[in-house]
Chain A
Amino acid sequence: MSPVDQPIQLQHVSKKFGSFRVLDDVSLGVPQGEATVVLGRSGTGKSVLLKHIVGLLLPDHGRVFVQGQELTALPAAKIASVRRQIGFLFQNAALFDSMTVGDNVGFPLRRHTQLSEGSVRARAQDKLALVGLERDYNKLPAALSGGMRKRAGLARAMALDPAILLVDEPSAGLDPITSEEIDDLLVRVKHELGTTLVVVTHNIPSARRIGDALLFLHEGRVLVRGTAAELEGSEHSIVRQFMTSEAGG
């Protein structure tokens, strides 16, 4: 498929930390405007996979293409231009401690747009409202709960209305109702803005709500890829067990 059809492509990507192989010959393509959910047990390389897509990690072997550009062959300055098209929600939100929540969300806008200060504030406020934090603009991240930090991180990731949104554990630390609201928000972003989503989660109901395709990562390899129903009927017992486990639900 072309870069237009698949803005994210990984070809035979392998990554080792020391002697531990985290990704082992992973190949996948993420279709334009669709949500791909990455499932798998803890420590199977899901977050590492996301970091390869945004170029924070480079593979030992293999190639990574984003919007048709080979990240693994680009100089640092060009990688930055690719990154402007990507929003990334980190597992622990990674909000900047020294800035208020509003400034965190406004940070990419101030850096990469010519918007006036008033427009930046208005847009940051809008994004915070999307995640239910409109009253927390002036708070410091330290004053937020884990779930609120996560939502603020999502607002920051969406600030530039990126073409690609990488989301690491959107439901972690959220109550079921807020978690559902965040899932709905991601689905809305996908439908309304045509954003391509890659979501890492352990939450199976969340995966069902968001995902057009689910893939299961096990011991650094893509074990199976398909719809939720296909994963439930997988020949691999670990996949079936994961899809029906209480932890997942």
Chain B
Amino acid sequence: MPSWVNTFFVLPMARVGDSISFATRALVAALRPPFEFKETARQLYEIGWLSVPLIAVSGFAVGIVLSMHTRASLERFGAEALIPAALTLALVRETGPLVVGLLVSGRVGAGIGAELGAMKVTEQIDALEASAVDSFKFLVVTRMVACVVAMPILTTVMNFTGILGGWAAESAVSGLGFFSYIRAAFSIVEFTDYLPGTLKTMVFGFIIAVTASYLGINSSHGTQGVGRAATRSVVLASVLLIATNVVLVRLIFFVFPESAQ
């Protein structure tokens, strides 16, 4: 077999197969006892709670920017009254979930990739195994569960601060009161707008955790490999997340036809 076939087809396909098997193993292991509750709680704190400031501040800023753009567009049609609803709809359906996915991919994906990569090269993963601990469950499954649980909560935080940011921007321009803004915002938006977009971030969480864990655990070549694992975790998780989002949006439209309206 020519070497280029091996380089460009066989090895990448083997890697894809390996990573799918890794993801499946993570899903199966998450459902099988014993469960690592304590470590999962620690990861929820690291991944979820410590991401809250980043998500809250970013959400507020995104809300302001969305408000400015929405105003600029709707003013042309004399539809300023729709600004709160249009912004909220855009935020809860797509902008919030996707921005949270990308932000967590950057913060948490890089962290998981680097941490597990460093543990690999310093034999800490071997030390876990030598201590009769299932390192896959302890390191990968706990992070995966924490990411899956944290993502919808973080998305809700972003939606909330985004709406606040939108109100702050709108209030500065038109002097609209907070409760009037909220009433206008939720005059059109329904629970079925919020639910699918928020729940799909669980899939984003799964992608981020599994991709970063896979790259971290399979890192090699010392500290250079750790750096590479961190970078690749962010890049690959972000690309997979954006690509998966296309499929998920299509799926949401199929399962919740009212979302497409």
A residues lining the B interface (CB < 8 Å)? 51, 54, 56, 76, 80-81, 83-84, 86, 88, 90-92, 94-97, 107-108, 111-112
Chain B residues with a Cβ closer than 8 Å to the other chain, count: 14
Partner of B131, one of A51, A83, A91, A97: A83
The answer to whether A54 and B118 have CB atoms under 8 Å apart is no
How far is the CB of A76 from the nearest CB of chain B, in Å? 8
Which residue among B118, B122, B131, B133 has the maximum number of chain A CB atoms within 10 Å of its CB? B131
Q: Counting CB contacts under 8 A, is B123 at the interface?
A: yes
**Residues of the A chain whose Cβ atoms lie less than 8 Å from the Cβ of B134:** 76, 80
The answer to whether A84 and B132 have CB atoms under 8 Å apart is yes
**Residues of the A chain whose Cβ atoms lie less than 8 Å from the Cβ of B129:** 56, 83
Query: In chain B between 106 and 143, which residues have their CB closer than 8 angstroms to a CB of chain A?
Result: 118-119, 122-124, 126-134
The answer to whether A94 and B118 have CB atoms under 8 Å apart is no
**Residues of the B chain whose Cβ atoms lie less than 8 Å from the Cβ of A112:** 132
Given contacts A56-B129, A90-B130, 8 further A-B contacts (CB under 8 A): A80-B132, A80-B134, A83-B130, A88-B127, A92-B123, A97-B118, A97-B122, A111-B132
CB nearest to A88 among chain B residues: B130
In the docked arrangement, what's the CA distance between A137 and B129, Å?
Answer: 23
The answer to whether B132 and A83 have CB atoms under 8 Å apart is yes
Partner of A111, one of B118, B122, B133: B133
The answer to whether B131 and A111 have CB atoms under 8 Å apart is yes
Partner of B126, one of A90, A97, A108: A90
The answer to whether A94 and B132 have CB atoms under 8 Å apart is no
Interface residues of chain B: helix, strand, loop or mixed (majority):
helix
How far is the CB of B182 from the nearest CB of chain A, in Å? 42
User: Interface digits, B39-61 against A, CB 8 Å rule (1 contact, 0 not)?
Assistant: 00000000000000000000000
6 residue pairs, one from A and one from B, having the closest CB atoms: A94-B127, A83-B132, A94-B123, A80-B132, A88-B130, A84-B132
CB nearest to A112 among chain B residues: B132
How far is the CB of A197 from the nearest CB of chain B, in Å? 16
In the docked arrangement, what's the CA distance between A76 and B131, Å?
Answer: 13
In the docked arrangement, what's the CA distance between A107 and B131, Å?
Answer: 9
CB nearest to A81 among chain B residues: B132
In the docked arrangement, what's the CA distance between A182 and B118, Å?
Answer: 28
How far is the CB of A88 from the nearest CB of chain B, in Å? 4
How far is the CB of B26 from the nearest CB of chain A, in Å? 16
The answer to whether A51 and B127 have CB atoms under 8 Å apart is no
**Residues of the A chain whose Cβ atoms lie less than 8 Å from the Cβ of B128:** 96
CB nearest to B126 among chain A residues: A56
The answer to whether B133 and A94 have CB atoms under 8 Å apart is no
CB nearest to A80 among chain B residues: B132
**Residues of the B chain whose Cβ atoms lie less than 8 Å from the Cβ of A92:** 122-123
In the docked arrangement, what's the CA distance between A124 and B130, Å?
Answer: 18
**Residues of the A chain whose Cβ atoms lie less than 8 Å from the Cβ of B119:** 97
**Residues of the B chain whose Cβ atoms lie less than 8 Å from the Cβ of A86:** 130
CB nearest to B136 among chain A residues: A76
In the docked arrangement, what's the CA distance between A81 and B126, Å?
Answer: 16
In the docked arrangement, what's the CA distance between A108 and B130, Å?
Answer: 10
The answer to whether A97 and B124 have CB atoms under 8 Å apart is yes
Partner of A54, one of B124, B130, B133: B130
A51 with B126, Cβ < 8 A, contacts A84-B132, A107-B131 known: yes
In the docked arrangement, what's the CA distance between A96 and B39, Å?
Answer: 14
The answer to whether A90 and B132 have CB atoms under 8 Å apart is no
In the docked arrangement, what's the CA distance between A90 and B134, Å?
Answer: 18
**Residues of the A chain whose Cβ atoms lie less than 8 Å from the Cβ of B123:** 90-92, 94
